[in-house]
Amino acid sequence: MLGAKGCDNPNGQGVTDTGTVVGRIVEANDPTLPVPAAQVTIGLRTIRISPADKGGFRLLDVPTGTQTIEISSPGYQSYSAQVVVHKDQVSDVGPIGLASVTGVPH
């Protein structure tokens, strides 16, 4: 029988290979304006940003491999995308523009 030792499961428990994901959340129609508050989730890691963060975020200890980043903020459309996380490296997703839901027909 083969043991599980040495297997890398980026979404499993006990994962030791991690990286960091950074980025900035801005208004889609004006990338110079940061979104004042948002929640950023990758796997089991979640952070909330406040106006003091000026849209910037840093998620530490994210498991390596392809992960899904999800961003939500009141008054904005949700955002979801794939990000590749490398061991002991910083993955910069750059500025992410969130579109306002104001004026969107329901």
Token pair in block for residue 95? 């500025």
The reported pLDDT for the residue numbered 41 is: 97
Strand 56-63 with 65-72, pairing: unpaired
Categorize the per-residue pLDDT at 15 as very low, low, confident or very high, splitting at 50, 70 and 90: low
User: Domains of the chain, with CATH numbers?
Assistant: 18-87 (2.60.40.1120)
The reported pLDDT for the residue numbered 7 is: 45
pTM reported for the whole predicted model: 0.79
Identity at 106, one-letter amino acid code: H
**At which residue do the structure tokens 């129609």 appear?**
29
* Tens-place pLDDT, residues 32-87: 999 999 999 998 899 999 999 999 999 999 999 999 999 999 999 999 999 999 99
Token pair in block for residue 68? 């899904």
Q: Is the pLDDT at 103 greater than 90, yes or no? A: no
